[in-house]
Structure 1
Amino acid sequence: MPKAFPPEFRRDVVAVARKREAPIAQIAKDFGISEACLHRWLKIADTDDGIRPGTTTTESAELRELRKRNKLLEQENEILRRAAAYFAKEIFPKMMYPLVEDLAADGIPVAVTCRVLGFSKQAFYAWKSAPVSRRELDDAYLINAALDIHRDDPAFGHRFIADELPAHGINAGLNRVARLCSQQRIWSVFAKKRGLTRRAGPPVHDDLVRKQFTATAANRVWLTDITEHPTGQGKLYLCAIKDVYSGRIVGYSIDSRMKASLAVSALRNAVRLRDPSGTIVHSDRGSQFRSRKFVKVLRDNGLAGSMGRVGACGDNAAMESFFALLQKNVLDRQRWRTREDLRLAIVTWIEKTYHRRRRQARLGRLTPIEFETINRHATAA
């Protein structure tokens, strides 16, 4: 069964098609999709933007989410129904943890009760062994949330963590967050503290590539890295994933911020379009590639991580060569007024020129698409 195209790729193709710089059939051919598929994407985009009537993608997603939420609420209601008598006690909410013990004695797991009532299991067991003050407990909640946020993206300092805390149900002032982060030594990997020498973070993977940028088949070795370029609205960041076998960019993501989610989106887009199993994904030691989210996506899809040395560009030279081509052919050709203009230029060059027009000597003067197609048919035969 064919894999669905990533939403980011679909948005970019629709944006190029709406500019009407070429016939629809030619645009569909340039991006490697059928004309009917492009018409369907345009129809969905028009519905989402309110140009034509119909149920939007957002509304459909909301309906699915509401059904899922309704099912979850029915399960949680059973716990709250049994806990109603306890909530009526005068000691609530001063002392809530005994409720967890009461429900656990009746056979309800501690983890389920803590999730429904908004507790963490760690905090409950800490109270059980040594009760603490409310202030200390609130600080513990904040520190746990800050550690989770920083683990997801080590580039976050206390200011970014303070911005993310409301999404975790915690409201705290910037000074309090800064104090607790300083006590726990939760700092951005880019921070420079006086009297503190900061080194690059430890690698989470061994170097499995060792500058051997060759592969005998597709989806054996992928390379990834992040590049940036300024525009009139600020910097734009591109994370691309390249298959060493054909040189094809199998996944990419573009955003205005260099967060861990940028690398995660690029990897998920690549996995969605390919069928990797045991593929080596090689990168540098950037915090985005050492983040917990990126490592989790690797593990969940059966991929093997690989990392080069600190400050050794040669350890990822094949990926750097692609960014050099992009710099020469797109980024440095003009001053880019908006991020959207640069984004569409990057996408068009990758899909139309690099994949389907630019022939490479190491591929026998074939384009990446031609090389993969010919060898796929030969392997099948």
Structure 2
Amino acid sequence: MPLRIHAELRRLGRQINRKRIERVMRGRGISGVTRGRRRSLTRLAKRAVPAGDLLGRDLTAHAPGTRLVGDVTYIPAAEGWLYLATWLDLATREVVGYSMADHHRAGLAVDVLQLAAGHGCLEPGCIEHSDRGSGYASGELRCEIRKLNLMGQSMGRTGFCCDNAAAESFFAVLKEEIGTRLWPDRATARAEFLSFTETFSNRRRLRKHPQWGYLTPLETRRHHEQGHTPAA
């Protein structure tokens, strides 16, 4: 957390030592939020055959649109659950597709993939990695992957959340930032997520790129598009 704050201040033109930030945080009792365990929505498909793991916990990508990770989470509202499905680009950590509904059937996962493809975010041969939930192991999603001329599916092992750690981490950050609470209705929860994704997560939240330093997901995508070569 101090490193990200330090990077934010430097971008604003404030010259401050990282250790001073740490001292101020300690003195005022400021610390990062501890992430609790997330309620699992993974329901194993009864008849579908799960795909193999094509990533092997290598959650990196050489270029945008070549590797995506997907997952589904829930947002509690007074009128019932709002289920949120996303696809995250491993090259930029940008949310390139998302959809929300009052269910988490196969159609939700298909909708998100169609949205990502419609925005021109996928390259031929792109790999889609997820857990083994029924929505991702469904025949509907496999048909959509073939229709979009993608390489195919990749799935982590049952009970090993680290196999899909990037998607799990995004949802953990989401619930830290917007707060996990009971929303008055699904429309309010939906609007809060849209604001978080479009205004903060994709455009403002800094993440340390191994070669380019602290960048937002959108800046990382632009670096790739402009053909920047990572420093040695």
Matched, 1:364 2:213: yes
Amino acid across the alignment from 1:376? E
Shift of the 201–320 alpha-carbon distance from structure 1 to 2, 3 Å rule, reads farther
Distance (Å, rounded) in 1 between the aligned partners of 2:97 and 2:228: 23
1:349 equivalent in structure 2: 196
Q: Are 1:201 and 1:287, in contact at CA under 8 Å, matched by a contact in 2?
A: no
Amino acid across the alignment from 2:223? I
Distance (Å, rounded) in 2 between the aligned partners of 1:206 and 1:318: 18
1:291 equivalent in structure 2: 138
1:318 equivalent in structure 2: 166
Percent identity between the two aligned chains? 34
Amino acid across the alignment from 1:235? W
Q: Which runs of 5+ in 2 are unaligned?
A: 1-41
Distance (Å, rounded) in 1 between the aligned partners of 2:45 and 2:86: 26
Pairing partner for 1:212 from 37, 50, 58: 58
Hey, which of these two has a bigger chunk of helix by percent?
Answer: 1
Map residues 1-381 of structure 1 onto 2, 5 A cutoff.
203-273=49-119, 274-303=121-150, 304-332=152-180, 334-362=181-209, 364-378=213-227
Shift of the 202–315 alpha-carbon distance from structure 1 to 2, 3 Å rule, reads farther
Distance (Å, rounded) in 2 between the aligned partners of 1:302 and 1:331: 38
CA distances 1:19-47 after superposition (whole Å, capped 9, x unpaired)? xxxxxxxxxxxxxxxxxxxxxxxxxxxxx
Give TM-score, length-normalised by structure 1.
0.46
Give TM-score, length-normalised by structure 2.
0.74
Distance (Å, rounded) in 2 between the aligned partners of 1:259 and 1:199: 11
Deviation at 1:200, TM superposition (A): 6.3
Shift of the 201–326 alpha-carbon distance from structure 1 to 2, 3 Å rule, reads farther
Deviation at 1:330, TM superposition (A): 1.4
Q: Are 2:64 and 2:224, in contact at CA under 8 Å, matched by a contact in 1?
A: no
Higher RCO (CA < 8 A, seq sep 6+): 2
* The structure with more radius of gyration: 1
How many residues align? The count is 184
Distance (Å, rounded) in 2 between the aligned partners of 1:378 and 1:218: 12
